[in-house]
Structure 1
């Protein structure tokens, strides 16, 4: 994810349950790289922003171009409200289990899946989380490839070449054992990202004024019905980090304030998303690219920001890989333990090979992705929709059952059915085009 936040807030995120990001089994013998501590209200605010805001924000102007600025604005608002509601569902489910079994803490998304549907529930939940994390890592590579291609234009190699040029570097960085060693590079990426947002907004305003504020020339609601689910998929992709909901709530000092804080934060993020998408589309119209930074003029400042973003993401890519490697290596340890009870650890060579394979596989996947916008919509329509809507509604119905009021059941079923339909139809539209 490309996170829109201040550098200091990134550090607060690193010390609050980062290693729970993939909701791994608490019985795992994996040792966390960083300690955790209770977060203040301000730190939790920063952690929510860090977790939720991602690469999708730079694709929102393109989504508004596909759906129209009115439909896009309404769509982002609906997705934001729905995501907030489903986050609360997870918290309510975990609170119910805590009351029933006060001596057993159920802190992860995967644990909740296990409590609801046993081993299969944990497997499905954690599988979706791992694949979603892989999808986010692939988004990094696509973003870097497309931006470098824009910077060098015809003087450079094709996009896939840029992606594979990164492989040796990313393999080496993935071998670094401490996440804290990578923190300075993430801070650098954050600074570049803030600058990119500022430059994009500045260019939006300049372009809009030069064109005479062309609202009437921009589509309000698309006539292509297939554009709506495509845009919804992009919007869902923007609200990533759903799997961190329980870790965020659990890390807060005063958990009773979490719902209100979450509502306030989501209101602000949703408003910023709408304004960013709206301004970008109004400024560039039908010329809006799937990554809006590609619309920037070729000035030294815009090119520097694009290169800076690519460098920052290159060095923070291993942070995205860490939860994936953690789970894979945990599984390898389990296999080794079952086959040889006298040796439960993994050798350095095995770890190096495993992490190198992960990088290579993700690079190969990224090389086959046609463009960022289509990919982001596909991920949002499938993985993010299942994690953000289908599973929380299912868990809530399963745990609370007959104790729910009629309107609560109806609302949960609406979320569940809509999420499933959206996953199927949105996926179809991503493949056939809009």
Structure 2
């Protein structure tokens, strides 16, 4: 999984490929459209894609493809609910395709623009997801937004650990179990890396991780094509309605870079082009995801595993890809943890007891902040050791936390801030997304709690 940013107010959680960031309203970042396109890809594409063929196995190749398209377009629409826009020409350009693209380009005003206009004189940095929550619902709104970001980021971090442990075990199966790799190797490494506070020091590893993802996808597709004889024989197109929520949850998880939206736009030198850059990137990713999921399922059928790299043959090429992925992700795990650390440290720093203790005892602040980082790493490592399956876990995270963060909150914020200025049918679209997100998250939670 690529590392999305958190929703706190600290400027460190910014796009990783940029040397310059956007500042307060009126100031602009230095990112070109090409750099921003790269940031969008880095933010969205990650290890979740390697679970897509398994989701297609559950739902069927046609249902899985439609789920990817629906999840991608819905996420794009909700991203556009948050970001700034002042152009009306795009409505005319896409009018012939409204039904196909579910009208997600038809916004004239949005939450972020409205909010920043009101707090322009008070703001020292670009508006964040947490700002939107506080503007709409006060302190409770900020807490809710940050908790959802924290939990969804924690889910992504746990998925990293599961992925690394299972892939290392598949290569070195005689050494120790997946849980053994998580505790014996990953835990000490991650505790040491938790002391690195600068994202810029870790960004090369994030880029390397995405390069490894692309290489892994290419090798998987190469192996898939070699297995194609009668690819659609004994391959189901649709496995029933009950399988759709599972596959859609995986698909939503694969578009988890939602929290980066506002930071990515703020980083651009020409922010008016952000809509096009974001749309082009997401549409391209949708096509790649659908092709990858279909190819994986058609190649392996009912033997498709929840991490498709585990289906690869036991040769040096596959082993190199798996180990390369594991090394890269081990070093980008702190990037996934960064928003978690920021939120926890901000709450710890605002504690009156901690502030008083820090003033009276030298070194308590440094010790407390680093102990909180170590504790969070240990907690997530323990959680990862109890998760039975990668595919089921990312579907659960996608259908609950990611659905609330990506669908429910944007629609809720948009209705709260600019709902009165929208036409009835646009409000109905937002209400539809809000209702769908709540029902989908509720279904995902109930399904997870029911005995299997």
Common fold by TM > 0.5: yes
The answer for unaligned runs of 5 or more in structure 1 is 4-17
* C-alpha distance after superposition, 1:288-310 (max 9, x if no partner): 10010000000110011111111
Q: Does 1:89 align with 2:59?
A: no
Q: Which moved more, 1:421-430 or 1:279-288?
A: 421-430
Pairwise mapping of residues 26-105 of structure 1 onto structure 2 (< 5 A)? 36=21, 37-91=29-83, 92-105=110-123
In structure 1, the residue corresponding to 2:31 is in which secondary structure?
A: coil
Aligned equivalent of 1:215, options 232, 240, 253: 232
In structure 2, the residue corresponding to 1:214 is in which secondary structure?
A: coil
CA RMSD of aligned residues (A): 2.3
The 2-side partners of 1:190 and 1:123 are apart by: 31
Offset, 1:346: 4.9
The answer for unaligned runs of 5 or more in structure 2 is 22-28, 84-109
The 1-side partners of 2:63 and 2:13 are apart by: 47
In structure 1, the residue matched to 2:95 is none
Offset, 1:31: 11
* C-alpha distance after superposition, 1:77-100 (max 9, x if no partner): 011111111111112111122334
* C-alpha distance after superposition, 1:112-134 (max 9, x if no partner): 01111111101100111111111
In structure 1, the residue matched to 2:168 is 148
Pairwise mapping of residues 265-304 of structure 1 onto structure 2 (< 5 A)? 265-304=281-320
- Work out whether residues 114 and 120 of structure 1, in 8 Å CA contact, stay in contact via their aligned partners in 2: yes
In structure 2, the residue matched to 1:350 is 368
Q: Which moved more, 1:320-329 or 1:165-174?
A: 320-329
Pairwise mapping of residues 206-285 of structure 1 onto structure 2 (< 5 A)? 206-208=226-228, 212-223=229-240, 225-285=241-301
Offset, 1:254: 1.4
Offset, 1:429: 3.0
Paired residues, number: 411
Pairwise mapping of residues 330-369 of structure 1 onto structure 2 (< 5 A)? 330-335=346-351, 336=353, 338-339=355-356, 342=359, 346-369=364-387
- Work out whether residues 61 and 292 of structure 1, in 8 Å CA contact, stay in contact via their aligned partners in 2: yes
The 2-side partners of 1:101 and 1:323 are apart by: 24
- Work out whether residues 157 and 333 of structure 2, in 8 Å CA contact, stay in contact via their aligned partners in 1: yes
* C-alpha distance after superposition, 1:370-395 (max 9, x if no partner): 11000000000111000110001111
Aligned equivalent of 1:406, options 424, 429, 444: 424
Q: Which moved more, 1:133-142 or 1:36-45?
A: 36-45
Offset, 1:314: 1.2
Give every structure 1 segment of 4 or more consecutive aligned residues whose post-TM-superposition deviation is greater than 6 Å: 30-34
Offset, 1:174: 1.1
Offset, 1:217: 1.6
In structure 2, the residue matched to 1:125 is 145
